[in-house]
């Protein structure tokens, strides 16, 4: 596990999600869950916040290069960044992530 000396709170360095006035931060429950899961994993020192932040910046850059109708949402980019980091750091494999995703989609496993 990575020990971090981060002195800044994650909410102080995250890019703001793009949203219109009065739009909720989370558009669906899965977005809130992935946000909470990310913070929980960070709090438990599973990864370095700067590594996640850089991954999220890269995912947003990719999204911005796509035609508007093909762009992932902010939290889809967030999820992609987290998945790539967890795989890169050896915390989970792509196969484990894919299996859990399949179980959730098929109702075999509950998200909470």
% the chain with pLDDT above 70:
78
Q: Tell me, rounded to whole angstroms, the distance of Cα 47 from its chain centroid.
A: 12
pLDDT tier for residue 25 given thresholds of 50, 70 and 90: confident
**Per-residue pLDDT tens for 28-41?**
999 999 999 999 99
Report whether pLDDT(3) > 90: no
**Domain residues of the chain, as ranges?**
29-106
pTM: 0.75
**Whole-number Å distance between alpha carbons of 66 and 46:** 31
Neighbour tally for 55: CB within 10 Å:
20
Q: How many CB atoms lie within 10 A of CB 47?
A: 21
CB atoms closer than 10 angstroms to residue 63: 18
- Give rounded-to-5 percent helix, strand, coil for the chain: 60, 0, 40
Asked whether the predicted pLDDT for residue 92 surpasses 60, the reply is yes
């Amino acid at each position: 596990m990575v020990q971090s000396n981060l002195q800044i709170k994650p909410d102080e360095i995250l890019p703001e999600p793009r949203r219109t006035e009065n739009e909720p931060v989370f558009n669906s429950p899965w977005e809130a869950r992935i946000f909470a899961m990310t913070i929980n994993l960070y709090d438990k020192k599973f990864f370095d916040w700067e590594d996640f932040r850089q991954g999220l910046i890269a995912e947003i850059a990719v999204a911005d290069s796509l035609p508007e109708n093909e762009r992932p949402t902010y939290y889809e980019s967030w999820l992609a960044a987290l998945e790539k980091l967890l795989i890169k750091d050896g915390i989970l494999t792509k196969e484990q992530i894919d299996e859990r995703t399949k179980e959730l989609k098929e109702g075999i496993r509950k998200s909470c």
